Amino acid sequence: MARLTKNDNVCIHCHRCEAICTWAHESAFNPKRGRIIVDLEFPDVHKIRICIQCGRCADACPMDAFYQDFNLLTTSEQGIFRLDEDKCVGCGECVQVCPTNVLQFFPDIRMPRKCDFCLGEPQCVKYCPTHALSWALG
């Protein structure tokens, strides 16, 4: 069982996590398309937005395009929520209910992108220079 955790206090707003996320999933360095988001608020407050695996996206989806993958468990022993792209029709209902606003809709592909914890080896954690992100086994 594992959990992705964050420490906003040590984030230096380098966006490396966002860039490596898109590289791992889309073979392109594009922080704006990451499944993790780093916000900067004035004057120097950094907030990392990550998927908390709450399942609201699955509850809101009229096409049942989200499912729980029990091959990767969270610390609450529930499976992570993943998107079945073949079932997604791009309605955006899931994006509207995301409590962390990390689920984003991309019009060019007509569907959202959701964190899958890199199937147990989160690259955002591996490449974070300040360890603002961690993958805790528990």
Instruction: Express each pLDDT in 53-63 by its tens digit.
Output: 899 999 999 99
The C-alpha atoms of residue 58 and residue 32 are separated, in whole angstroms, by: 24
Which CATH number is correct for 2-131, 3.30.70.20, 3.30.70.330, 3.30.1360.20, 3.90.1300.10? 3.30.70.20
Instruction: Express each pLDDT in 27-54 by its tens digit.
Output: 988 888 889 998 876 656 668 899 988 9
pTM comes to 0.84
In the three-class reduction of DSSP (H, G, I as helix; E, B as strand; rest coil), residue 136 is classed as strand
Instruction: Express each pLDDT in 14-28 by its tens digit.
Output: 999 999 999 999 898
Instruction: Express each pLDDT in 54-108 by its tens digit.
Output: 999 999 999 999 999 887 766 556 788 999 999 999 999 999 999 999 998 988 8
Name the residue ranges covered by the structural domains of the chain. Answer: 2-131
Alpha helices of the chain — where are they, by DSSP H? Answer: 16-26, 56-60, 93-97, 123-127
